[in-house]
Amino acid sequence: MPSVFTWTVRVYYEDTDAGGIVYYANYLKFFERARTEWLRSLGIDQHTLRDEHGALFVVRNASVDYVASARLDDEVKLTLNVEKLGRASVEFDQQAWRGDTLLASADVRVGCIDAVTMRPRSLPDLAAAKMRAA
């Protein structure tokens, strides 16, 4: 799946640690926002998935490599590429950039679960079709 999605965030004071750099765990929040905005760009509403299809997305695994630091007021460009679309999961390659400098990269696997039982389930057909089309 060659299509790369891009979303930009600004680093706020609340994103930084005592040293004035982005606290490492906040990159996970940034990557989460990019995945949410990617779904929105596809016309996939997570409330609708839950309420009408009984499906939720949960992170199954995340591996992050931290390369360089972002600081207060930096614009961070987040990229997202779907590496694999499975029956009940999606694997993402995500990166955070400041200009031409790679800040962090992550491999994230998201699973689809039933909203009631919290057990794995297949992706809703409509969502899977939109993801494949992208």
Q: How far apart are CA 92 and CA 94, in angstroms?
A: 6
Spans of all domains in the chain: 4-133
The alpha carbon dihedral of 48, 96, 13, 23 has a sign of: positive
Q: Which residues of the chain are under the pLDDT cut of 50?
A: 1
Q: What is the pLDDT of residue 125?
A: 92
* C-beta separation of 91 from 114 below 8 A: no
pTM: 0.93
Q: What is the DSSP string of 6-65?
A: EEEEEPPGGGB-TTSBB-TTHHHHHHHHHHHHHHHHTT--HHHHHHHH-EEEEEEEEEEE
**Mean pLDDT of the residues in the chain:** 95
List, for residues 70-102, the tens digit of each pLDDT value.
999 999 999 999 999 999 999 999 999 999 999
Q: Which residues are catalytic?
A: 17
Domain spanning 4-133, CATH architecture: Roll (3.10)
Output the pLDDT for position 1: 43
